Amino acid sequence: MNQDNLQQQLTYSQQFSELNQLLEQSAALWQVRAFEVNALPWAGDFSQLAEAVWALADDELDGLDAEQSLLVKALSPALNHDLRALGQDWDLSLLTASIAERTVFNDKTVNDKAGVAEPSLADNTAAQQGGLSFDDEAHFSAHIKGRKWQQITAFVQHLPQLNLPVLEWCAGKGHLGRLIAKARGAEVVSLEWQAALCEAGQAFADKWQLSQTFICADAFAIGAEHAATNTSTTTSITTVEAPAQRASNANPLTTNPLTARQQAVALHACGDLHVRLLTLAAEAGTQALAISPCCYHLIHASHYQPLSNLAQQSSLKLSRHDLQLPLQQSVIANPKQQALRHQEIAWRLGFDALQRECRQIDAYLPLPSLKQSQLSGSFTDFCLWAAETKAVNLTKNRDFEAWLEIGRQRQQLTRRIDLVAHLFRTVLEQWLILDRACFLQEQGYGVCVGEFCANSVTPRNSLILAQKMSV
């Protein structure tokens, strides 16, 4: 790797080290399970922060939570006061800084040699910028939710023009791949494991005479010798925490579908899925990648497995619960969704207090996901369902309104614990993004990290562009 690329690598490495130091220093504030405690667990060391967060009115919390700069402005004075009292010095400027803002790009390295332009916010309202007429847009965007279509068009607009065949990873119906095929005239292979989605995507591509071909395959079984015969022990792509049956006609690939002369793209591939793409691309020496990661917690292992050498040296041990922190931002939720979310949490906390009393075990008892229709019922119905689900005997404790009030009181606590943890959600996501960027640089790629759309379109707006460098 040449000296210019080494300069870029050191820049990302330095940023990673700064983020890692802050996360290690502040772990007591963000590595917390709010449902499992009955008081602010860090209040002894951070008394001013505790006073500040309790001084906030309940109706202020969502507004602060939705805007990182406002959240930091509201809580950082108290946190700084506590740090001075403790004799500690944390770099709190990292709480609002972005990777793109803090990177000094070497034009020769990034543009001339790697062919990678810095992603930045763009006006993505005109689909014709991506190569579509207004008539074509109506067909291509049909049945795609508005924000998702905005994400797809913005992603495509930030792809470098490389004139390479494209592999679309975890394609679904191939919405991203079909736009690339149409707008860029590229040959696209779309890999997806659900046969019905492959069939629907291929039918659209054939109708529009697009150079898009679907491969129905399990991304996790690629290269596995047992893939053709053993489907019962594989893991669901869409939710990798729980076993699921695979599509019976998904084809096991015994060889890596990525090649050297190729551009691999993935928009919001979850957890281990985009990690799998990174490792397969590195093995194949794939010339270019464009990846927007999502859902970092959807992993096979119980804890995060760092990719880069630098991250492997960190003392951080991230559970699946920790990895959900970057996803905990409510900028997209409308008032009705927020009200339902608060109702569900109050109900869960109320039942949690009830089950602790009934079982005489002071421990949180997780419940499965709720159907939204259950929230239109009563708290009593919810408790009866939860008790039946978890085999809890409610015979002596049936004053459900009293338990609901306890749940609401506990919710005031958990919202404030979460609010403080959310100070560090951006830092943790940047740590995860830079782990991927540093890994790619270690594999000989020129890398650029930025944002491909506004936060209001999706909070998961990070984009990693990488291109194989000459040695």
SS (HEC) of the chain: CCHHHHHHHHHHHHHHHHHHHHHHHCHHHHCCCHHHCCCCCCCCCCHHHHHHHHHCCHHHHHHHHHCHHHHHHHHHHHHHHHHHHHCCCCCHHHHCCCHHHHCCCCHHHHHHHCCCCCCCCCCCCCHHHHCCCHHHHHHHCCCCCHHHHHHHHHHHHCCCCCCCCEEECCCCCCHHHHHHHHHHCCCEEEEECCHHHHHHHHHHHHHCCCCEEEEECCHHHCCCCCCCCCCCCCECCCCCCCECCCCCCCCCCCCCCCCCCCEEEEEEEEHHHHHHHHHHHHHHCCCEEEEEEECCCCCCCCECCCCCHHHHCCCCCCEHHHHCHHHCCCCCCCHHHHHHHHHHHHHHHHHHHHHHHHHCCCCCCCCCCCCHHHHHCCHHHHHHHHHHHHCCCCCCCCCHHHHHHHHHHHHHHHHHHHHHHHHHHHHHHHHHHHHHHHHHHHCCEEEEEEECCCCCCCCCCEEEEEEECCC
Residues facing residue 343 across a β-bridge? none
Cβ proximity of 351 and 407 under 8 Å: yes
> Quick one: pLDDT band at residue 251, thresholds 50, 70, 90?
low
Which pLDDT does position 239 carry in this prediction? 32
> Quick one: pLDDT band at residue 112, thresholds 50, 70, 90?
very low
Which pLDDT does position 396 carry in this prediction? 79
Structure tokens at 268: 């919001």
User: Mean pLDDT lowest for which of 142-151, 373-382, 383-392?
Assistant: 142-151
CA distance linking residue 189 with residue 186, whole number of Å: 10
Q: What pLDDT, in 10s, does the model give residues 24-64?
A: 999 999 999 999 999 999 999 999 999 999 999 999 999 99
Structure tokens at 314: 């960190």
Q: What pLDDT, in 10s, does the model give residues 179-201?
A: 999 999 999 999 999 999 999 99
Q: What are phi and psi of 318, to 5 degrees?
A: -105, 120
CA distance linking residue 212 with residue 257, whole number of Å: 15
Q: Cα separations (Å) of 334 from 56, 69, 339, 341, 457?
A: 22, 20, 9, 11, 13
447 torsion bin: left (phi>0), alpha (psi -120 to 50), beta (else): beta
Query: What pTM was computed for the model?
Result: 0.86
Mean pLDDT (the chain, rounded): 86
Checking if the pLDDT of 353 tops 90, the result is yes
> Quick one: pLDDT band at residue 102, thresholds 50, 70, 90?
low
The arithmetic mean of pLDDT across residues 354-359, rounded, is 94
> Quick one: pLDDT band at residue 231, thresholds 50, 70, 90?
very low
Q: Which residues, 6+ apart, have CB-to-CB distance to 253 below 8 Å?
A: 215, 217, 218, 221, 222, 223, 227
Q: Which of the pair, 361 or 141, is modelled with greater confidence?
A: 361
User: Mean pLDDT lowest for which of 48-57, 247-256, 286-295?
Assistant: 247-256
Q: What pLDDT, in 10s, does the model give residues 201-212?
A: 999 999 999 999
Which pLDDT does position 253 carry in this prediction? 74
Q: Which residue has the tokens 């190729």?
A: 262
CA distance linking residue 296 with residue 293, whole number of Å: 8
Cβ proximity of 260 and 162 under 8 Å: no
CA distance linking residue 249 with residue 349, whole number of Å: 43
Q: What percent of the chain has pLDDT over 70?
A: 83
Q: Which of the pair, 140 or 378, is modelled with greater confidence?
A: 378
* Distance, CA of 292 to chain centre: 9
Q: What are all long-range contacts of 69-78, with beta carbons under 8 Å and residues at least 24 apart? A: 69/96, 71/419, 71/422, 71/423, 72/96, 72/423, 75/49, 75/419, 75/420, 75/423, 76/423, 77/52, 78/46, 78/48, 78/49, 78/51, 78/52, 78/53
Checking if the pLDDT of 247 tops 90, the result is no
Q: Cα separations (Å) of 343 from 49, 56, 328, 404, 442?
A: 26, 20, 17, 10, 47
Which pLDDT does position 134 carry in this prediction? 57
User: Mean pLDDT lowest for which of 98-112, 204-218, 345-359, 414-428?
Assistant: 98-112
User: Mean pLDDT lowest for which of 60-74, 232-246, 299-313?
Assistant: 232-246
Cβ proximity of 440 and 291 under 8 Å: no
Cβ proximity of 357 and 402 under 8 Å: no
Which pLDDT does position 329 carry in this prediction? 74
Checking if the pLDDT of 254 tops 90, the result is no
The arithmetic mean of pLDDT across residues 314-319, rounded, is 98
Q: Which of the pair, 334 or 426, is modelled with greater confidence?
A: 426
